[in-house]
Amino acid sequence: MRNLLIGVIAAMTVAAPAHAVTFTSAGAVATPGGPADPGLAAHETLLVDFDHAAHAGVTVATSGNATLHTGSTSGVAAAPAGDASRYLALGTGATATVNFAGLSLRTVSVYLGSIDSYNRIDVLNRAGNVIKTWTGNDQPPHNGDWFAAATNRRLFMNFGQGDDVGAVRFSSSGVAFEFDSIGGTVAGVPFATTTAVRAVRVRTPLPSFRSTSTVFGPASRPCLRTSSIPSLASHGVWVWSLQLDVM
């Protein structure tokens, strides 16, 4: 067939807010003194450590049996592995809500001690709705071990701009949920974005070629019109498109 490639019409990039809260975690790291907090993520600032005043724009509100401890007391609270400072422990039915609605955080991380299946974290948007939940069941073996790297972990929460996150709420339905050292990415790092790339080529025999029009739009919308060509099949028109999403 005497086809002629008449053009790579265009390629373009569209950036849009991503809607996705994701969780990752890292177990306590080995040190000469025993397992210890892996530490804040890159770019994070310490927001709450229960030893000093919270970072500007951050408040912590508790309900029920939420108490500060230093060291471990069997049957009451176990310090997160390697944590000799003050930490917060939630008994059965207690909650602690860390509110940062004025900061537009990109990430939050927290060091969790002796993870149990009944420990829970809800991520709330500024309207107060729960948009993502983590529980101890998501992190086997969730057996409350005081020292194991598997049960003493830093949980990393990553937010998209479209999530509009305003708070993180900790709660427990058993004894206990212990945590410390809450960090967050306050500024300087862009939100994750969705990038859509589309490239379209049209090939048609020269005698029948008249014109084409191409319309680009977000990934969720049609991007190509070939209405000026009477029949795609009979004129050997083909379309190639590529969509690339980057989170």
Q: Which of 163, 180, 212, 229 binds Ca ion (CB under 5 A)?
A: 180
DSSP codes joined into one string, 154-219? EEEEE-BGGG-EEEEEEEESSS-EEEEEEEE--SSSPPBEEEEEEEEEEEEEGGG----EE----T
Backbone angles phi, psi at 10, to 5 degrees: -170, 160
Q: Which two tokens stand for residue 14?
A: 């569209």
Name 215's Cβ contacts closer than 8 Å, sequence gap at least 6.
Answer: 222, 223, 224, 225
Q: Which residue, 52 or 225, has its beta carbon nearer to Ca ion?
A: 52
Q: Which of 49, 116, 122, 178 binds Ca ion (CB under 5 A)?
A: 49
CB-CB contact of 177 with 111 (8 Å): no
Q: At its nearest, how many Å lie between Ca ion and the CB of residue 130?
A: 26
DSSP codes joined into one string, 213-246? EE----TTS--EE-TTSS-TTTTT--B-------
Show the binding pattern over residues 155-174: x = contacts Ca ion (CB under 5 A), - = does not.
--------------------
- From the list 21-29, 51-59, 72-80, 212-220, the region that binds Ca ion by CB under 5 A is 51-59
- Asked if residue 86 binds Ca ion (CB under 5 A), the reply is yes
- Asked if residue 178 binds Ca ion (CB under 5 A), the reply is no
- Asked if residue 37 binds Ca ion (CB under 5 A), the reply is no
Residue, CB closest to Ca ion: 85
- From the list 24-32, 83-91, 163-171, 224-232, the region that binds Ca ion by CB under 5 A is 83-91
- Asked if residue 72 binds Ca ion (CB under 5 A), the reply is no
Q: At its nearest, how many Å lie between Ca ion and the CB of residue 81?
A: 13
176: cis peptide before it, omega within 30°? yes
Q: At its nearest, how many Å lie between Ca ion and the CB of residue 187?
A: 24
- From the list 145-153, 165-173, 176-184, 217-225, the region that binds Ca ion by CB under 5 A is 176-184
Q: Which of 67, 85, 92, 195 binds Ca ion (CB under 5 A)?
A: 85
In angstroms, the Cα distances linking 234 to 203, 204, 205, 206, 243 are 12, 9, 10, 13, 27
Q: Which of 14, 16, 45, 50 binds Ca ion (CB under 5 A)?
A: 50
- From the list 90-98, 132-140, 145-153, 180-188, the region that binds Ca ion by CB under 5 A is 180-188
Nearest to 201 by CA among 168, 223, 178, 221: 223
Interacting residues with Ca ion (CB under 5 A) = 49-51, 85-86, 180
